[in-house]
Amino acid sequence: METLTQGARAPSTDGARGIIVLVVDDHPAVRHGIQMLLDDEPGIDLVASAASYQEGLERAGELAPDVAVVDFQLPERDGLTLTRKLAAMPNPPRILLFSAYADGRLELAALLAGADAMLGKDSLGLELCRQIEALARGEPQFSISTQALAAVSEELDLEDRPILGMLAAGASPEEIATVLGISVAELDLRRSAMLHCLKARPRLPRTRS
């Protein structure tokens, strides 16, 4: 199993330049739409795009973006896998995962993968701009319900449930490792196994109310 150690992420902007954003989505129309939206934002200097997992990694290495906006559904590998890789970079971007099927379960999977926020595709407008700006200031945007946390915890081993709870409460990997008396590398392996568990279980279909 590959070990990925999540890098420390400081606020991205220092007032000297605008935010650099990387958008990773395999649909050209979505990439173009987001790019047009963000190009009009005064605080954003550059919006680059990528169409796949591999291209996303390459563009992130070239540009060192402040914020990466990553689609969950990608060819080759999914957005959670890309999130893991991006979060393990020496100078990782803040990561916003988005999906047409955003729910509490996927939000917790995104948190385990190292993302800083989760957004549904139906919110790709002013809310996207607001979250990008907040992430660039170093402000994580997760808001996970106790119901979602309890439901997902039931799928995990008993010893791993405190890890999910501490992550949801905003604890850093270093803080969690200290509390558990393990190394950050060991914690990362356990997070990877927890994420694999969640991804292996099919999401229940949504029901209409």
Model confidence over 65-121: pLDDT tens digits?
999 999 999 988 999 999 999 999 999 999 999 988 878 888 999 999 999 999 987
CA angle 35, 32, 121 (to 5 degrees): 85
What is the average pLDDT across 146-164? 92
Residue 49 and residue 104 in contact, taking contact as beta carbons nearer than 8 Å = no
Residue 50 and residue 22 in contact, taking contact as beta carbons nearer than 8 Å = yes
Q: Is the dihedral of CA 169, 172, 175, 177 positive or negative?
A: positive
Give dist(CA 164, CA 134) in Å, integer.
23
Select from 112, 183, 90 the least CA-distant residue to 104.
112
Select from 142, 147, 179 the least CA-distant residue to 163.
179
Give the global pTM. Answer: 0.85
More confident position, 28 or 202: 28
Give dist(CA 170, CA 149) in Å, integer.
13
Inform me whether the pLDDT recorded for 197 exceeds 60: yes
Task: Identify the three-state secondary structure at position 68.
Answer: strand
pLDDT value for 208: 37
Residue 22 and residue 62 in contact, taking contact as beta carbons nearer than 8 Å = no
**Number of continuous H segments (helices) and E segments (strands) in the chain:** 9, 5
What is the average pLDDT across 141-156? 88
User: Helices 79-87 and 184-200 sit at what angle, rounded to 10 degrees?
Assistant: 170
Residue 63 and residue 48 in contact, taking contact as beta carbons nearer than 8 Å = yes
User: Helices 146-153 and 161-168 sit at what angle, rounded to 10 degrees?
Assistant: 160
Give dist(CA 113, CA 115) in Å, integer.
6
pLDDT value for 10: 43
pLDDT value for 16: 59
Give dist(CA 158, CA 180) in Å, integer.
14
